[in-house]
Amino acid sequence: MQGRELFNGLACRVEAGSTIEIHGSNGSGKSTLLRVLLGLQRPDHGTVTRHVGRIGYVGHRLGLTGLMTLGENLRWLGALAGHNSAESEVRGALERMGIGGCFNREVRHLSAGQAKRGALAGLTLSGSKLWLLDEPLSSLDDQGVSLLSEVLTSHREEGGSAIIATHASITDSSTETIELQN
Amino acid sequence: MKPFTATLTRDVLIALRSRTEMLNPIAFFLLVTVMFALVFGRDLGTRHLVGIPAIWTTALFANMLALEGLFRREHDDGTLALMLIDNSVTLPSTVAKLIAHWLLTGMPICILAPVLGVAFGMSQSTLLMLAGTLVVGSMVFTLVGSVCGALIVGLQRGGVLLTLLVFPLYIPVMLLGIGTCQLHQAGEEYTSHLVGSLAILAGCITAIPLAIGPVLRASQDQ
């Protein structure tokens, strides 16, 4: 990346029902690694092989449009994933993240934490087997962290996987961890 | 709802909610064209002469005004990344964005142009020809401009670069469009100019939708 080596010799395999946490200090390349896995950035060397269909992703930019309500955003996200999400389904996903009352509120009027919860609710509607989350804990309060943890557990129990770039661990000790050096 | 329909509906909805942004190019087109008509007010002969180039040139600049925002909002809020991570979604969603962009900026200009053309003393058949050629031209503007807009989406303040990139590419279709209308107005044969414009449009429709996804991905890879 711009003459700087972020990581080398990195190899990992994501199995169904597993979670990988990527740890590292600021600027160590966590977000870049996620973008490489998503195909948004090309590595100088090496390959990424995907055996899953659509990947669910929540990055620093949440993928929610400020001028649309949270409900409209989530229905659009559902449509991108090929689902025709009914209003009740979207409301259910929002209630699961503790923000059922935000369905009709424009995203630009939500707090950062509410918007983050909304984006995470969108993931549950996407039907994606693999989730990539970039600093999912940022802006979340304790209740939000606990709800995210529940959602991740249930995703894994259903055979889903997740790769999470984070400063603080959010899953259990069985989770594989990749430590990136700065 | 499929990605195409959902994205088309979404873009129209966003445009309706950000009316100022949507109305800016149309207001620009309206005001500048009226100004041209006023400047050449007294002399009908001169108005007759400058009407077609004035309307075409103003339509071109109005389109350029709207171009920078084509992928900018999606880049800034992260929705563009979501459209790009799944190849099967990229094509329908970007094509939907192009159609929405044309419906919201190109089409209103094509509707307004013949109305404003009256102020330049154009005949009814020339007004129809003007609208028809502008439909072709504005579609080419949207398609060609979208590739340039995609190239600079990752850059801060890419507006000047966008103008420099886009302007030379717009000139052929603009000259052919102006030529078609002027030849028609003079009662001369205009088919070759019209076919030239249609050929450019056909080429753009065939190639550009397929190119946008890779160009957007390349601009993300920075």
Q: Among partner residues A53, A66, A80, which is closest to B6 by beta-carbon distance? A: A80
**B120/chain A closest Cα distance in angstroms:** 40
> Which pLDDT value is given to residue A171?
67
Residue bearing the bigger pLDDT, A71 or B163 = A71
Chain B residues touching residue A138 (CB < 8 angstroms): none
Mutate to test the interface with B, among A1, A58, A61 (most CBs of B within 10 A): A61
Is residue A109 less than 8 Å (CB to CB) from chain B?
no
What would the pLDDT profile of A29-61 be if each residue is shown by its tens digit?
A: 888 889 988 888 888 888 888 887 789 999 989
Helix extents (H) in chain A: 30-38, 70-80, 87-96, 112-126, 142-157
Which tokens in the block code for residue A2?
């711009």
Q: What is the CA radius of gyration of chain B?
A: 18
What would the pLDDT profile of A87-104 be if each residue is shown by its tens digit?
A: 889 999 999 999 989 999
Question: How many whole angstroms separate alpha carbon A21 and alpha carbon A178?
Answer: 6
Residues 6+ apart with CB under 8 A from B151: B165, B215, B218, B219
Q: Among partner residues A42, A68, A77, which is closest to B13 by beta-carbon distance? A: A68
What would the pLDDT profile of B96-145 be if each residue is shown by its tens digit?
A: 999 999 999 999 999 999 999 998 989 999 999 999 999 999 999 999 99
> Which pLDDT value is given to residue A174?
62
**In whole angstroms, what separates CA A37 from the centre of its chain?**
13
The backbone torsions φ and ψ at residue A37, rounded to the nearest 5 degrees and listed phi first, read: -65, -30
Residues 6+ apart with CB under 8 A from B111: B131
Is residue A4 less than 8 Å (CB to CB) from chain B?
no
> Which pLDDT value is given to residue B198?
97
**B221/chain A closest Cα distance in angstroms:** 5
CB pair distance less than 8 Å for A42 and B221: yes
Place of tokens 């398609």: B143
Residue in B with minimal Cα distance to A76: B6
Chain B residues touching residue A41 (CB < 8 angstroms): 220-221
Residue bearing the bigger pLDDT, B193 or A13 = B193
